[in-house]
Structure 1
Amino acid sequence: MERISILGFIVAILYFITTELACNGYTHIGNNIQSEQETLIDFKSGLKDPNNRLSSWKGSNYCYWQGITCEKDTGIVISIDLHNPYPRENVYENWSSMNLSGEIRPSLTKLKSLKYLDLSFNSFKGMPIPQFFGSLKNLLYLNLSGAEFSGTIPSNFGNLSNLQYLDLSSEILSYDDFEYFNDLSIGNIEWMASLVSLKYLGMDYVNLSSVGSEWVEVLNKLPILTELHLDGCSLFGSIPSPSFVNFTSLLVISINSNQFISMFPEWLLNVSSLGSIDISYNQLHGRIPLGLGELPNLQYLYLFGNYLEGNISQLLRKSWKKIEFLNLGGNELHGKFFS
């Protein structure tokens, strides 16, 4: 009888502990769900949504709201995708109908597990990029391209060491005889060296004129960078060679429409991973290095609109193992295409 009593007591204790843990767990999850929902409602309250694009943002099932993705079992928000699906330059009326503007509320920082944030191609009309974005330390993906932000990109973005994809590109648009471009700039580029997980960097038409030649050395510190897009960034002068070439994963480099007065950057010949090079519309001069034709993975080469020299027939004798598109027009080449 004594053993049965002890066994009953142990079972009762275990039941009590299990019940307490379960209740506390549910309370914790319940509190999280309430907090996530309140944060999203506050975030929405700052936005202007004239065509009621976020009409689904009501009720308690926020994981099913337009643009929201949650962690499967916990209801924790991990993704907000509110990009405008219509590019402005194609059909303006469609873009306008899906356009969000207004204020981005700092309550967004309460979403501690947020990994994906896309607000691209909306219209925040000259508003600075919020400083608190630099506190979203779990972000893997951040896309603010074409969203009409202006001012200096916050240097505390260097805190986003988990970030794999960053697109802050501005737009150059012409419609109805009206040209618009975003006025984003970088004062000091050193913070970008901290983005050690970055694979994709898009900063087309961001003003980098104050950066000088530092951009090569800083970006060379990103160990797994695969795509680099710096078109129309007001970069100028020579394209310097890094002290050592660390771009071992680089597949794409696009730096067209800048103001480089430079020889072709021959250090690119040491980046065997390159599949696409675009340095069109600059002021490159000197000879096109024959070694370009030996890059084992090169598929696309755009050097249009420079002052490069060379013998085209010699250049084309190289192997060009995977080349699909070669644009050397607008240079000072000579020789025959076929001999």
Structure 2
Amino acid sequence: MLIILYVLCIQSTLFTVTATNTANNFITCLQNERDALLQFKSTIIDPNKNLASWSSGNCCNWRGIRCHNITRHVSRINLRNSSLQGEINPSLLTLQHLIHLDLSFNFFNFKPIPQFIGSIKSLRYLNLSNAGFSGEVPSSLGNLSSLHVLDLSNLYLSLSSDYVLHVSDSQWLSQLTALQNLKMTGVNFTYASSWLQDLNSLPHIKILGLRYCRLQTIPLVLPHVNFTYLNFLDLSYNRINSTIPAWLFKITSLEYLDLSWNFKFHGLVPPDIRNLTYLNVLVLSYNSIDMSLALSQLGNLRNLQYLYSDYVRKLINCPFHELGGNFSELATTLQLLSLRHSKLTGSLPRWIGNFTNLQFLYVSANSLSGEIPSSLGQLSGL
């Protein structure tokens, strides 16, 4: 019976896959949209022939193209990492039902992002990351009020400002009222003075990736914290010269917080850090902050799995064993503890053996001495 059931399951699966593929083959694209895609191709340089299928037949079967099963409209273009160059043709405006556009990891010769992309108002997903764009991010993108995901990240960090994207006025971001995921790594925000206020007006934002954005200031006062659903915040590798603002610890939905590599972040980390009870990852490395008050509150972060506090200039400066009570509540959750260059003294404490889920333990470049405790042998997952 088991063999018969197994054979029937395989036949059922094969029938489903065949039926699905047959259905896809029967979807024929609309002629005007096919013509628009051919116009798009006509201004693209395609050295690796990734668009070779874009010549004849049903455009719904072309590489990177998906059509709606019922309406037959082109709904998705995914040409990620296709070695494309050249010009992006405004013929894409013909695709009035396009919801997904991914041109990431191509190279468009450091040209500006085309203004007309802000007129494809049906878009819900737009990924132009690491595609070789430069210049001012067009404010016309603020017209994309249905957008859920916007990724403009740029890895060309070592190049001069002439070859990177930048935002001078971030007010257009506040118009993206459906936005949930914003990634702008490497986009220069030096002159976008109202960046935080504009982002704070987004009612559904969940992910904010602002690494390497050359942010220099962060408002210490935010009258109304609207980041109700924010669970991922990355402000690392910036130039923020400030104390850590108190409003940050009102974003109780946070699961990931990275403030590392902001050397001029200074002052006390307030005990209010205990409010971030959903945190899985906390990264505070390479700052000038003082953790002396916050350490006793870390035990309240019952979901914390990864704690990085390396090279924090005023972190601990005390015997390692005196931290035991502060960390005891994390013994069953913490998987990574990194306290390099933290001015720890004394010996490696016996209580470290209670952290049975630890996989990574970094305490190098401190002033530790004495015998390595046998309790370290209890860390079977290390």
Give the TM-score band, short-chain normalised: 0.7 to 0.9
Structure 1 residue aligned with 2:289 = 308
Paired position in structure 2 for 1:12: none
Q: Percent identity?
A: 39
**Alignment check: 8 A CA contact 1:235 1:259 kept:** yes
In 2, Cα distance between the equivalents of 1:161 and 1:338? 53
Q: Answer yes or no: is 1:277 the counterpart of 2:257.
A: yes
Change (3 A) 1:313 1:193: closer
Change in 2 beyond 3 A, CA 1:336/1:290: farther
> Residue in 2 aligned with 1:154?
138
Unaligned 5+ segments in structure 1 are 1-28, 85-97, 174-178
In the alignment, which residue of structure 2 is the partner of 1:140? 124
Instruction: Report if aligned partners of 1:290, 1:318 keep a CA contact under 8 Å in 2.
Output: no
Q: Please give the secondary structure, in 2, of the residue aligned with 1:311.
A: coil
Higher relative contact order (CA 8 A, sep 6+): 1
Following superposition, the deviation at residue 292 of structure 1 comes to 1.6
SS in 2 for 1:268: helix
Once the 2 structures are TM-superposed, how far is the Cα of residue 337 of structure 1 from its aligned partner? 4.2
Question: TM-score scaled to structure 2, two decimals?
Answer: 0.73
1:67 maps to 2:64:
yes
Question: What's the Cα RMSD here?
Answer: 1.8
Q: 1:107 aligns with which of 91, 97, 107?
A: 91
CA distance 1:62–1:313, change in 2 (3 Å): closer
How many corresponding residue pairs?
Answer: 291
Distance in 2 between residues matched to 1:142 and 1:104, nearest whole Å: 14
The Cα of 1:296 is off from its aligned counterpart by: 1.6
Shift of 1:314: 3.8
Distance between the aligned counterparts of 2:57 and 2:156, measured in 1?
A: 41
Tell me the equivalent position of 1:296: 277
Question: Which one of the candidate residues 18, 39, 42 is aligned to 1:42?
Answer: 39
Whole-angstrom distance in 2 between the partners of 1:313 and 1:188: 36
Q: What's the CA shift string for 1:246-274, capped at 9, x where partnerless?
A: 00000001011111111112212111100
Verify: 1:165 aligned to 2:149, yes or no. yes
Letter in 1 for 2:84: L
Q: Is the 8 A contact 2:86 2:108 kept in 1?
A: yes
CA contact (8 A) 1:316 1:337 kept: no
d(CA) in 2 for partners of 1:80 and 1:156? 20
Runs of 4+ in 1 over 4 A off after TM superposition: 179-182
SS of 2:91's partner is helix
C-alpha distance in 2 between matches for 1:158 and 1:279 = 27
Deviation, 1:318, is 2.8
- Note the residue ranges of structure 2 that are not aligned, 5 or more in a row: 1-26, 323-382
Q: Which one has the bigger strand percentage?
A: 1
Q: Distance in 2 between the 1:244 and 1:53 partners?
A: 49
Aligned counterpart, 2:191: 210
- Whether the aligned pair in 2 keeps the contact of 1:117 and 1:142 (CA below 8 Å) is yes
Contact 1:168–1:204 (CA under 8 A) maintained in structure 2:
yes
Q: Secondary structure at the match of 1:109?
A: helix
Structure 1 segment 1-339 matched on structure 2, within 5 A: 33-84=30-81, 98-172=82-156, 179-180=158-159, 182-212=163-193, 214-282=194-262, 283-311=264-292, 314-315=295-296, 318-331=299-312, 332-334=314-316, 335-339=318-322
